[in-house]
Chain A
């Protein structure tokens, strides 16, 4: 019985991220629109878009290979698994032993690998440009992410997220410089990974400036729906990750009863909302940077993460 219940809670977590992901993107868009004194589309517009795309016919290029057709499902699956592993409202779920930071980085990395390949598969110039820019960004974002993971692992003594969250919620954490640096670095990586301003513009129609959008220009119908859904999930994943590690309050602890799950969910939704508003405000206040400035931006993230790790070697209390 207990096993079934635990599996049910784990299943609820998987369903929850799937349900909330489009809402988060819709919320960020709405807040951005309101900041620009526009009405903005309704909060559930992303769901409608997904539904519309699912119903539409798929238009494939003549020379599209099997890779091109398989990639959307691959990306969706890996991103969903990644998002579902992160403790959102409760720590210590059935599968939490798999919720390892390095595994999540690897899942996202493989999703990106396949998307970059698919971008080049059809052989259009935009796909190639997008893939080359994406890989340039990834080559700096992934090392930065790994260094952040090292810092966290050194502080918390584990790369398993439930353990990290439990440690971060405990009073023995204290104020640490290295954690502050990791947080800033993680936010920068999250912005780059999710193709947000100032690295990429998610709402642009200018083919020549796109990164993520350029890679998926050739996709349509349910394939595009999968890719869009994966992008929504990725945003949710990063926001969940940041809130799980740096704002672990309200997280239902391992083995807690069902009654403590409700406040966990409420706290989680609250954290998503706060992060969504902050993201929208940040994106409104800044212009997109030149493509060649992105390495500077991510280089700063890399250096911050590296410094954080080094500080921990100097003193475990920093």
Chain B
């Protein structure tokens, strides 16, 4: 069986694409790659378009290879990937809305990001058309049977959360089908990035999903550095890992509390909230911003870690180490809470593998992948940490993965603080006039974030695509809720905690 490398080698290699290769392939080879995806030999990292071409990032987990296959489609049509490999469906629908690229044979051609409010169709293609800014009816998938009823929820919710529409078909209290409709938080990030300089594009990348701003900045910066061959100074590399772990710590602590709060156990929420706030304040003391937004820039980091910052981080670690175990015990010993989380919202191992679910969603359902370990991007190769793995796939398992990751992050922060090298934190890099392409895969708290970009004339970003881990997690939530009761949906949803903003771009 030919590997991913062979596919790329057989195609027409694109120059200046780093660190992995990209090749323009023939429709036949494209079809072969789709088959490999459908059979589960390779996994799909992302699928995105640009005028006249469609790209697909692939991962061959057994060989550890990553590659991008591109198919030129001047007519705007290409053979659908989603036809055989459902995880690609929403990516294809998004590419169709933005670029007018039509997947041939796709089972689902409804619009996804475009709700008819933009006033234009195919805004990023070369054939932008103005259209009336009126919403069109959206047909949800039918569910038939006796005494089924529909419950529409959102996009405006009773609490202050992001917008998304959920259409439940229920039989009494039991959910028969859930269908999501997303795209309400579309900001046009890819359109704004096209033609902007790298500094502005880096800022935009950091605003894709507010809770993952460090991970997005890091993914974007690494892609730029890969494209231009920039060597980042060691201290900056280590500081980046420090920020990434602090972000993971804050988000996981917040999530653990919020999941318990959705089971009306406010005690955990209050205590985890205190710890999360401590992490944010320590981050502010160390890097000058609570969420560390814009602290990672292409070429290094923007904020220096002072001695006071180091002290704040050390006392933060000591405090969490002292108080977190009691919270874990509280979670584990509260029978009424366990009754809610155990066996609720079970995600099957096969589905997690098929959709390549990243982060806690995948790792709670037996998918052993962590970009920090599998790709070992610096400095994680020099750090010792475990990647927790569970098979149960229920809400409880997703909470436990988070608990273990909190412990791992604490240890990682300690290791980074111990080994932090001295030196400069940022390098300038030369602008070139040649076309350069780069990509990066970075582990955010939700899972792996893919960044791909092409830098063109004058050092401007020509095309940049950012793929949130939620693209592959949202569809799994639909599967996980089936057969559960309607009232358990908030709990399941919180345990997935997918990003609306990062997904809607």
- In chain B, what residue has the closest Cβ to A213? B158
**Cross-chain contact A206 with B262 (CB below 8 angstroms):** yes
Complexed CA–CA distance, A32 and B267 (Å): 9
**Cross-chain contact B270 with A290 (CB below 8 angstroms):** no
Q: Which of A79-129 contact B (CB under 8 A)?
A: 125-126, 128-129
**Cross-chain contact B150 with A289 (CB below 8 angstroms):** no
- In chain B, what residue has the closest Cβ to A285? B267
Q: Tell me which residues across on chain B come within 8 A of A126, comparing CB atoms.
A: 151
Residue in A37, A287, A292 whose beta carbon sits within 8 Å of that of B334 in the complex: A287
Q: Which of A233-267 contact B (CB under 8 A)?
A: none
Q: Which of A1-50 contact B (CB under 8 A)?
A: 32, 35-38
- Nearest chain A CB to B130's CB is how many angstroms away? 34
Q: Say if the beta carbon of B149 comes within 8 Å of chain A.
A: yes
Q: Tell me which residues across on chain B come within 8 A of A35, comparing CB atoms.
A: 267
- Nearest chain A CB to B179's CB is how many angstroms away? 15
- Nearest chain A CB to B171's CB is how many angstroms away? 13
**Cross-chain contact A36 with B490 (CB below 8 angstroms):** no
Q: Say if the beta carbon of A288 comes within 8 Å of chain B.
A: yes
Q: Tell me which residues across on chain A come within 8 A of B270, comparing CB atoms.
A: 36-38
Number of A-B contacts (CB under 8 A): 79
Q: Say if the beta carbon of B260 comes within 8 Å of chain A.
A: yes
Complexed CA–CA distance, A210 and B10 (Å): 58
- Nearest chain A CB to B333's CB is how many angstroms away? 11
Q: Say if the beta carbon of B488 comes within 8 Å of chain A.
A: yes
Q: Say if the beta carbon of B263 comes within 8 Å of chain A.
A: yes
B 123-144 to A, binary, CB cutoff 8 A, 1 in contact else 0: 0000000000000000000000
Q: Which of A255-288 contact B (CB under 8 A)?
A: 284-288
Q: Which of B329-357 contact A (CB under 8 A)?
A: 334, 336-337, 339-340
**Cross-chain contact B149 with A125 (CB below 8 angstroms):** yes
Complexed CA–CA distance, A125 and B263 (Å): 22
**Cross-chain contact B340 with A289 (CB below 8 angstroms):** yes
**Cross-chain contact A125 with B152 (CB below 8 angstroms):** yes
Q: Which of A46-92 contact B (CB under 8 A)?
A: none
**Cross-chain contact A288 with B151 (CB below 8 angstroms):** no
**Cross-chain contact A287 with B487 (CB below 8 angstroms):** no
Q: Tell me which residues across on chain A come within 8 A of B265, comparing CB atoms.
A: 286-288
**Cross-chain contact B264 with A36 (CB below 8 angstroms):** no
**Cross-chain contact B336 with A207 (CB below 8 angstroms):** no
Q: Which of B241-277 contact A (CB under 8 A)?
A: 260, 262-267, 269-271, 274
**Cross-chain contact A206 with B158 (CB below 8 angstroms):** yes
Count of chain B residues near A, Cβ 8 A: 32
**Cross-chain contact A201 with B486 (CB below 8 angstroms):** no
Q: A37-B274, A206-B158 are in contact. Are A284 and B489 (CB under 8 A)?
A: no
Q: A38-B270, A208-B153, A208-B489 are in contact. Are A288 and B340 (CB under 8 A)?
A: yes
**Cross-chain contact A201 with B264 (CB below 8 angstroms):** yes
**Cross-chain contact B266 with A284 (CB below 8 angstroms):** yes
**Cross-chain contact A198 with B264 (CB below 8 angstroms):** yes
Complexed CA–CA distance, A287 and B264 (Å): 5
- Nearest chain B CB to A57's CB is how many angstroms away? 19
Complexed CA–CA distance, A284 and B330 (Å): 12
**Cross-chain contact A291 with B336 (CB below 8 angstroms):** no
**Cross-chain contact B159 with A206 (CB below 8 angstroms):** yes
- Nearest chain A CB to B173's CB is how many angstroms away? 6
B 484-497 to A, binary, CB cutoff 8 A, 1 in contact else 0: 01111110000000
Q: Say if the beta carbon of B434 comes within 8 Å of chain A.
A: no
**Cross-chain contact A293 with B490 (CB below 8 angstroms):** no
Q: Say if the beta carbon of A209 comes within 8 Å of chain B.
A: yes
Q: Tell me which residues across on chain A come within 8 A of B487, comparing CB atoms.
A: 208-209, 290-291
Complexed CA–CA distance, A22 and B432 (Å): 70
- In chain A, what residue has the closest Cβ to B262? A206
Complexed CA–CA distance, A37 and B271 (Å): 8
Q: Say if the beta carbon of A161 comes within 8 Å of chain B.
A: no
**Cross-chain contact B336 with A198 (CB below 8 angstroms):** yes
- In chain A, what residue has the closest Cβ to B160? A205
Complexed CA–CA distance, A37 and B262 (Å): 19
- Nearest chain A CB to B241's CB is how many angstroms away? 32
Q: A36-B266, A206-B158 are in contact. Are A291 and B485 (CB under 8 A)?
A: yes
Q: Say if the beta carbon of B323 comes within 8 Å of chain A.
A: no
Q: Say if the beta carbon of B157 comes within 8 Å of chain A.
A: yes
Q: Which of B136-183 contact A (CB under 8 A)?
A: 149-153, 157-160, 173
Q: Tell me which residues across on chain B come within 8 A of A129, comparing CB atoms.
A: 151, 486
**Cross-chain contact B153 with A288 (CB below 8 angstroms):** no
- Nearest chain A CB to B497's CB is how many angstroms away? 14
- Nearest chain B CB to A209's CB is how many angstroms away? 5
Q: Tell me which residues across on chain B come within 8 A of A284, comparing CB atoms.
A: 266-267
Q: Tell me which residues across on chain B come within 8 A of A304, comparing CB atoms.
A: none
Complexed CA–CA distance, A2 and B160 (Å): 57
Residue in A208, A217, A293 whose beta carbon sits within 8 Å of that of B339 in the complex: A293
Interface centre among B149, B160, B490 (most CB of A within 10 A): B490
Q: Say if the beta carbon of A204 comes within 8 Å of chain B.
A: yes
- In chain A, what residue has the closest Cβ to B341? A287
- Nearest chain B CB to A211's CB is how many angstroms away? 9
- In chain A, what residue has the closest Cβ to B166? A208
- In chain B, what residue has the closest Cβ to A198? B336
Complexed CA–CA distance, A35 and B269 (Å): 12
Residue in B149, B158, B340 whose beta carbon sits within 8 Å of that of A207 in the complex: B158
**Cross-chain contact B337 with A287 (CB below 8 angstroms):** yes
Q: Tell me which residues across on chain B come within 8 A of A291, comparing CB atoms.
A: 173, 485, 487
Q: A125-B150, A291-B485, A292-B485 are in contact. Are A205 and B264 (CB under 8 A)?
A: no
Complexed CA–CA distance, A60 and B266 (Å): 33
Besides the known contacts A209-B490, A293-B339, 13 further A-B residue pairs in the complex with CB atoms under 8 A apart: A204-B264, A205-B160, A206-B159, A207-B157, A208-B153, A208-B490, A209-B487, A286-B336, A289-B340, A290-B485, A290-B487, A291-B485, A292-B173
11 A-B residue pairings within 8 Å (CB atoms): A36-B270, A37-B270, A37-B274, A125-B152, A204-B264, A286-B265, A287-B334, A287-B337, A290-B340, A291-B487, A292-B485
